[in-house]
Amino acid sequence: MTAGIGHDRRLGEIISTSQGVFVAPFDGGWVAYDVIAEMTHVLGPLGVIATIDEPTPVSELVEELVANSPEMDRADAIETITTAVDELVNLQLLNRDEPFEALAPWAGSPRPADETLSWARGRTHQVADVAITFRSNEPSLLPKIDACFQPNPAVLVSAEGDRGLRREVFIDAEVMSNGGIRLDARDRWDFTNEQGFFQQILDFTNEYAARANSYATLHAGAVRTPDGRLLVLPGQIDSGKSTLTAALVAAGCDYVSDETVGLLADSLAVTSYLKPIALSDESREVLGLNGQSNGTTLVSELRDDVVLLEGAIGTPAEIVLPRFAPGAELRIERLSPLAALKELLANTHNLGRCGSVGLEAVAKAVETIPVFKLVHADAVSTADVLMVGGT
């Protein structure tokens, strides 16, 4: 076989991975995620070419293939490599000119340390990969903040070993002379009173979870069943994941999060973000809770002996993607690794920040952990099914 003229021309080119493209092993080949285009590409074994970090001549790849495949004719090696390069260039996974700058994680309060030396400090709260400690010039405010994330009489259990914490930030809550509260985190917020402060406190802690840069964070709830199974429930807004998470907690599960969990790259252990559960008044009624709320519910309202799990909790036994559909019959379907990968990537907050480390973890997870899609019309009865391993 004689290599074509187009293939010969390609031999002189220099290639490198496009900015904003991350690649990970998957299903005997590779998967690439393009953050700029927000597209997933499943590639064969030669997708490894898209992992090239440094500019590399195409001819060098041909020589490497010839050296590693002595049975292959050189012309065949040229055609194999150049055809693969053509495909990857057409997908914009190689040699795209568009720049991409990885986003930095959210910083904490910019206040100089000497301004807060006399301020009181509250507990440290894990929000995925970051340890957040609140400081205040009014010590009586801090127990209220801490109780929001870790309410009494719930029992806090912290995992031993690597908890998944990679950095620490301080958030300052200054009580002003007019009774308002000034909050300094990455940005500054001013609240006219304490009620307004607590109505919005989760707005900024949620952003720290979504903007982790050490490992992937999933938009998901998570619980541990009484028999020790860790269930992760990814879902978009209005999927019903928070209501189902709350139903599982009320039925006897330990609580990890209803909003975001991290996924450690090496162990696939889930990391926690303990917070009040986002429940509408309608969801509270479904769960048998009385009264109205401001949109969130302390987990201690669901069960006063609930256990809060903090740290790197362990590897999920199952990943269940719930969707609430009024009037629907309960349906549970196991997804193929490829279908599961697409679903989980759609529920991953931060690939533009954590890059290949996060993509590798998600790809590994769908190949080793059962992933299900669940449709239901009643969170309480569905929780009972999941509690006994109904998947």
Same domain as 76, residue 121: no
Asked if residue 108 is part of any domain, the answer here is no
CA distance 173 to 198: 11
Start-to-end Cα distance in the chain: 53
Instruction: Please state the pTM of the whole predicted model.
Output: 0.93
Range with lowest mean pLDDT among 13-27, 150-164, 262-276 = 150-164
DSSP 238: T
- State which amino acid sits at residue 178: N
- Look at residue 7 in the predicted model and tell me its pLDDT: 58
Q: Which two tokens stand for residue 90?
A: 């057409």
Closest CA to 261 of 349, 345, 383, 147: 349
- Look at residue 11 in the predicted model and tell me its pLDDT: 86
Closest CA to 15 of 107, 109, 81, 94: 94
Domain count for the chain: 2
Per-residue pLDDT at 92 exceeds 70:
yes
Report the pLDDT averaged over residues 65-81.
93
Rounded mean pLDDT of the chain?
A: 94
Share of the chain above pLDDT 70, in %: 97
Length of the chain as a residue count: 391
- Asked if the bond preceding 153 is cis, omega within 30° of 0, the reply is yes
Query: What stretches of 91-213 show up as alpha helix (H) in DSSP?
Result: 141-149, 194-210
Report the pLDDT averaged over residues 25-52.
95
Same domain as 118, residue 85: no
CA distance 150 to 132: 13
Burial of residue 267 (number of CB atoms within 10 Å: 0-12, 13-18, 19+): middle
For residue range 95-139, what is the model confidence (pLDDT) as tens digits? Answer: 999 999 888 889 999 999 899 999 999 999 999 999 999 999 999
CB 65 within 8 A of CB 11: no
Same domain as 274, residue 188: yes
Three-state DSSP class for residue 48: helix
Which residue range(s) make up the domain with 231?
A: 113-387
For residue range 284-305, what is the model confidence (pLDDT) as tens digits? Answer: 999 999 877 889 999 999 999 9
Same domain as 378, residue 323: yes
- Look at residue 8 in the predicted model and tell me its pLDDT: 66
Give the end of a domain, one of 90, 125, 157.
90
For residue range 146-182, what is the model confidence (pLDDT) as tens digits? Answer: 999 999 888 999 998 999 999 999 999 999 999 999 9
